[in-house]
């Protein structure tokens, strides 16, 4: 179990997977600091052949369903905190990249603005992402130990429709 979780954490090292949301937020900070137009900033990156983090996914060739929910969270948090600029920058970037490169936002893209507005430090973006996955990783290990088969899940969610009513832990 320990080796599997340690290995899984190790796969998050670097800018392409675990660090992608950090890279997204650094771009948002650059845009904010320079008062640049978000689309012009991304055009300049593309002209320099730089990768725009937070777009595309090996499995989700249409929209990443996690990005759908994080987009709404980013929008709602921006409005409720009176700090909508991070969502607005993100939305402009997403629209441009989708139209120009035909790439959809993935989980990393809107998690950057969401985490920031929640007050989470950039250096904790990847650890937060990892913590959210530990229960799934351990479940896979347990299933493999029980069945001795590799697990490659491909499933559609068939549970209740959203939004669900949230009940705080203090009332649970």
Catalytic residues: 57, 108
Among left, alpha and beta (phi > 0; psi -120 to 50; other), residue 54 is left
Which residue has tokens 């969502």? 87
Which residue has tokens 């029980």? 146
Q: Is 120 exposed, middle or buried (0-12, 13-18, 19+ CB in 10 A)?
A: middle
CA-nearest of 69, 123, 62, 116 to 89 is 116
State the Cα torsion 11-14-16-17 to the nearest 10°: 40
CA-nearest of 82, 80, 87, 84 to 112 is 87
105: helix, coil or strand? strand
- Token digits for 23? 């890279």
């Amino acid at each position: 179990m320990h080796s599997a979780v340690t290995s899984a954490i190790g796969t998050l090292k670097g800018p392409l997977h675990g660090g992608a949301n950090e890279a997204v937020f650094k771009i948002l900070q650059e845009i904010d600091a320079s008062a640049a137009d978000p689309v012009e900033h991304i055009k300049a990156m593309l002209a320099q052949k730089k990768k725009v983090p937070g777009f595309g996914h090996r499995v989700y060739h249409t929209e990443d369903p996690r990005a759908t929910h994080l987009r709404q969270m980013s929008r709602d948090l921006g409005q409720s905190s009176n700090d909508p600029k991070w969502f607005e920058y993100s939305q402009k970037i997403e629209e441009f990249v989708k139209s120009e490169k035909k790439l959809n936002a993935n989980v990393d893209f809107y998690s950057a603005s969401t985490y920031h507005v929640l007050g989470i430090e950039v250096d904790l973006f990847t650890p937060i992402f990892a913590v959210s996955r530990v229960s799934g990783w351990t479940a896979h290990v347990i299933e493999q130990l029980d069945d001795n088969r590799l697990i490659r899940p491909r499933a559609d969610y068939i549970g209740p429709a959203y939004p669900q009513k949230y009940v705080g832990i203090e009332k649970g």
